[in-house]
Amino acid sequence: MYQLNQKEIELIEAYHLNNISEEEKIMLTNRLVNEPEFRTAFEEFTSLLSAMDAQRRLQTRKFLKSIDQKKNTKIDGPTKNNLLWMILGIIICGLIFVIVRSKKQVKNDIKELKTDVNSTKENDTTLIKKDSQTFQNKTYPLAEANQATRLKISSKYYQTPEFGTVRSSEKDSVKTKLIRLYYEKQYSEITKIYQNTKTADPEIKLLIGTAYYHQAKWRNATSIFTEIQKDGGLHDEAEWYSLLCYLNDTDQANKFKSLARKIRSNPDHSFYNETLSLLSDIKNKKITLYIPD
């Protein structure tokens, strides 16, 4: 049996791996043709190398499949557990959320109840306090209102007073003349006549007062209205129109304050409701009025 040396084995291996030069190839083929013993040894050796190739391929295939199995087991095993853990986690979180929320709700309910009780108590007292203090406060919602705003508010509440029917005996008297002039809106004429003739009739006085009012002569108007208040008769009307005059006269804010308080404290006053709505209107307009004490 032919024994191959190292060089020959190297050559056969190179031939098997196709790493052989052309010269070596020719030399090898010559030997294979001429030396039958060498040929047998060559064939045996190449078949061994082929078997080893097959074994190597098999081993690599097994190795690659083992990676795949490892990957699969990695995915199958822990993910199932992970899913279970996730579901458990969600349930626990949900429970905690519900418990915490219900506790908070109970706390809030108790707080609300407490505040309700306190607020009702406070409200009662504060409302009373507020009611009495609104006019005592130094600031009042008309302070910064300009003349136009004052006029706007007062004209909303101003209504021309109705004067009684003129009797036949009174025809061509001063009263009928004044009333006619009033409806003709000749307010300056009325005031001129008033300066010449003095009268004690509260109705005529009211007419003259409102005539001053229409001319924006607030001081003159209020002086006549105070006269009516003193004499009696159309007392409530006089007070109401004085209040409107004070509203328009920026210097009379203090008087406005005291008169409004007076009317407000008397629910039987003919202009009680009007006064209340006038005050709330001033408040809603959010205009502040500084009234010095």
Partner 1 sequence: MTLAEFIHDSKQNHALCLEAAYHANLTICTSWIIKSYAKSKDEAKDLFIEAMVILSENNFKNRIEPTQTLLSTYLLAICKNLIRQADRNKKFQKVDLENLPEVAGAEEFEAFGFGNETQLKSLQDSLEKLGHPCNTIIREFYFNQTRQEKITEMLGYQNVDVTKTMKYKCLGRLKDIFFKMYKQS
Residues that bind partner 1 (CB under 8 A): 3-4, 6, 9-10, 13, 17-19, 43-45, 47-48, 50-61, 63-65, 67-68, 71
Look at residues 223, 216, 289 and name the one whose alpha carbon lies nearest to residue 248: 216
User: What's the full length of the chain, in residues?
Assistant: 293
- Least distance to partner 1, CB of residue 54, Å: 5
- Least distance to partner 1, CB of residue 29, Å: 19
What's the rounded Cα separation, in Å, for the pair 12 and 7? 9
What's the rounded Cα separation, in Å, for the pair 137 and 133? 6
b/e map of 199-209 (b: 16 or more CB within 10 Å)? eebbbbbbbbb
- Least distance to partner 1, CB of residue 77, Å: 18
- Least distance to partner 1, CB of residue 59, Å: 5
Complex with partner 1: residue 28 or 279, whichever CB lies closer: 28
Cα→Cα distances 226→206, 213, 232, 236, 276, Å: 10, 14, 10, 11, 21
- Least distance to partner 1, CB of residue 11, Å: 11
Sequence-distant (≥ 6) Cβ neighbours of residue 16 within 8 angstroms: 46, 49, 50
Work out the burial of residue 86: count CB atoms within 10 Å of its CB; fewer than 13 is exposed, 13-18 middle, 19 or more buried: exposed
Complex with partner 1: residue 72 or 280, whichever CB lies closer: 72
3-state secondary structure of 132: helix
85 sits in the region (left: phi over 0; alpha: psi -120 to 50; else beta) called alpha
Complex with partner 1: residue 54 or 92, whichever CB lies closer: 54
Complex with partner 1: residue 65 or 103, whichever CB lies closer: 65
- Least distance to partner 1, CB of residue 41, Å: 8
Phi, psi of 290 (to 5 degrees): -90, 115
Complex with partner 1: residue 51 or 106, whichever CB lies closer: 51
- Least distance to partner 1, CB of residue 67, Å: 5
Complex with partner 1: residue 4 or 143, whichever CB lies closer: 4
Complex with partner 1: residue 18 or 21, whichever CB lies closer: 18
3-state secondary structure of 139: strand
What's the rounded Cα separation, in Å, for the pair 93 and 184? 84
- Least distance to partner 1, CB of residue 91, Å: 34
On whether the CB atoms of residues 279 and 128 are closer than 8 A, the answer is no
Complex with partner 1: residue 3 or 196, whichever CB lies closer: 3
